[in-house]
Structure 1
Amino acid sequence: MALKATIFKAELQIADMDRHYYADHSLTIARHPSETDERMMMRVLAFALNANEALTFGRGLSTDDEPDMWQKDLTGAIDLWIDVGQPDEKRILKACGRSSRVLVYCYSSTSNIWWGQTGGKVERARNLRVLNVPAESSLALAKLAQRTMQLQCTIQEGQIWMSSGEDTVQLELKTLKPFADA
């Protein structure tokens, strides 16, 4: 018998002063049985950093041809493809061919090793941006995970604060690869 996804609910308040985006989002997050709290919270963080009315979660780990989240235009063309973790270069290059912009949010203590092996193979992708979340930050973010969450995300001058009640995690992402036009 296959294990079912666990459903998490999050009320996410976003105050992104860098993008001048201020909104509340009610998120329903299906966590695959093999997904950790750390990875799920990285998806929530990626959503907060790119929040938009058209941004939606993909079908998750069980679907190879969809990202963790994406934003499509009115014609169905993919404007933004977001993956969390350490996708292989074939997946990244395929995403770059299908989408106007691709973002990868990597995390964990092995991110530098992964990027050392993958970076050279994807360096020519002009529409790719790779950001690294330090392992200690992603682990601290995982501690905020609950089945029902009230989260606040504040973004200012590249600094990110994610809080739930009295607990706050401060994050600063490191750009491993910027968009070519940046």
Structure 2
Amino acid sequence: MALAPTLYDFQVALSHVDRSIDQPTLVIKLARHPSETMLRAWLRVLAFCWLWEERLAFGKGLAEPDAPDLECRDYTGLVTRWVRVGKADPLKVQRAVDQNPHAKVSVMFESTQRMEAFLAEAREAKAARVAKAELVAVDAELLGALSQFDTRRIKLSVTFVGDHVYVECDGRSFDGPLTRASL
């Protein structure tokens, strides 16, 4: 019998200064797969906040390896945003670019080292169309600090200013850069 996912409830006050987003009561319901680490769960939450728009939703995640971790569809069902977090396969990202020509494809990594390894793999595999994807890495220390919060109901404030993220959680403040790269 398969283990059931653990449900998390994130109450987020989201501000994205550059995109003029101010969502004081964003509710994020996250189903954490039994084999998913808390670090990856937090990475999905940060990606959700970073790319937030109406109709953005979590994908099937680890249960369906080829599905995006986050996706957004327009009212006709067309994918407009395709997102992978964590360790991504360059060929699968390239396939996502090819199969979703009207979508913005993004990948959020857990560290700049992982993003650099991805870029090296993409160059080696000659996955040139990965260049069409938006690649960003979260500060590893920030993500590590947030992953210590492992309660089912979490209240936090997330603010993006340029390529920097500020998070307040449980009365503690954290911040770190978002590092961008391209092929």
TM-score for the superposition, normalised by structure 1: 0.89
Greater displacement, 135-144 / 79-88: 135-144
Root mean square deviation, CA, Å: 1.8
Higher alpha-carbon deviation: 138-147 or 52-61: 138-147
- Looking at structure 1, the residues matched to 44 and 157 of structure 2 have their Cα atoms a distance apart, in angstroms, of 15
- 1:107 corresponds to which residue? 110
Secondary structure of the corresponding residue to residue 124 of structure 1? helix
1:117 paired residue among 121, 131, 135: 121
Partner of 2:55: 54
Question: Structure 1: which 5+ runs fail to align?
Answer: none
How has the CA–CA distance of structure 1 residues 134 and 157 changed in structure 2, closer, same or farther, with 3 Å as cutoff?
A: closer
Structure 1 residues 41-50 or 18-27, which shifts more?
18-27
For 2:107, the aligned partner's letter is V
Are the equivalent residues in 1 in contact too, given 2:14–2:22 (CA < 8 A)?
Answer: yes
Following the alignment from structure 1 to structure 2, what is the Cα–Cα distance between the partners of residues 44 and 128? Answer: 20
Question: In structure 2, what residue type is equivalent to 1:127?
Answer: K
2:82 is aligned with 1:81: yes
Matched to 1:65, the amino acid is: D
CA distance in 2, matches of 1:152, 1:119: 37
Match of 2:136 among 131, 135, 151: 131
Deviation at 1:108, TM superposition (A): 4.2
What aligned pairs does 1:30-179 form with structure 2 within 5 A after superposition? 30-99=31-100, 100-108=103-111, 110-111=113-114, 112-119=116-123, 121-177=126-182
Q: Name which of structure 1's ranges 150-159 and 14-23 shifts more when overlaid on structure 2.
A: 150-159
CA deviation after TM superposition for structure 1 residue 94, in Å: 1.5
| Native 8 Å contact 1:18 1:158 kept in 2 | no
Q: Distance in 1 between matches of 2:38 and 2:156?
A: 15
Q: Which has the higher helix share?
A: 2
| Helix, strand or coil at the partner of 2:146 | helix
Encode CA deviations 1:114-143: one digit per residue, 9 max, x unaligned: 332225533434531111123222211212
For structure 2, the 5+ residue unaligned runs are none
Counterpart of 1:12, as a letter, is: V
Amino acid at match of 1:3: L
Work out the number of aligned pairs and report it. Answer: 178
Call closer, same or farther: CA 1:96–1:168 in 2, change over 3 Å. same
